[in-house]
Structure 1
Amino acid sequence: MSEFTVRGKFQARDGWQKFETSIDAENENVAEERTYTNFGSQHGVKRTQLEIEEVEAQ
């Protein structure tokens, strides 16, 4: 497993908020899916309210 840094923005109550998070995953696609899953479960953000701009391997 590799570590990926995922950057993007999500729709918050007062507009779009930028984020950066580190995810352990097998590849970039899995890292992107885990980001969607984490934001959905922890913050209640739907996939349409999340824009991933960059996935970068560490």
Structure 2
Amino acid sequence: MVQTFTIKGRFLMGSSYQIFEREIKADRQEHALEKLYVDLGSKHGTKRKHIIIEDVKAD
């Protein structure tokens, strides 16, 4: 069953951290996190080690 996950955290952009909040549809939390890593890495060129997940909620 597809759920909507709200993911909050921050990622390194330049020399400072940028706060983000994203809603991602996925079957499981692990898939939602993977999609987030792929999206942020693709759009901002951010490495996974520079993405800090602070909260994940299933809606």
TM-score, normalised with respect to structure 1: 0.91
Q: How many residue pairs align between the two structures? A: 58
The answer for the alignment partner of 1:4 in structure 2 is 5
The answer for the alignment partner of 2:32 in structure 1 is 31
Q: RMSD in angstroms over aligned alpha carbons?
A: 0.9
The alignment partner of 1:45 has SS state of coil
The answer for the alignment partner of 1:50 in structure 2 is 51
One-letter code of the match for 1:4? F
Q: CA deviation at 1:31?
A: 0.7
Question: C-alpha separation between the residues in 1 aligned to 2:15 and 2:49?
Answer: 16
5+ residue gaps, structure 1: none
Task: Please list every run of at least 4 consecutive aligned residues from structure 1 whose deviation after the TM superposition is greater than 2 angstroms.
Answer: none
TM-score, normalised with respect to structure 2: 0.90
One-letter code of the match for 2:36? T
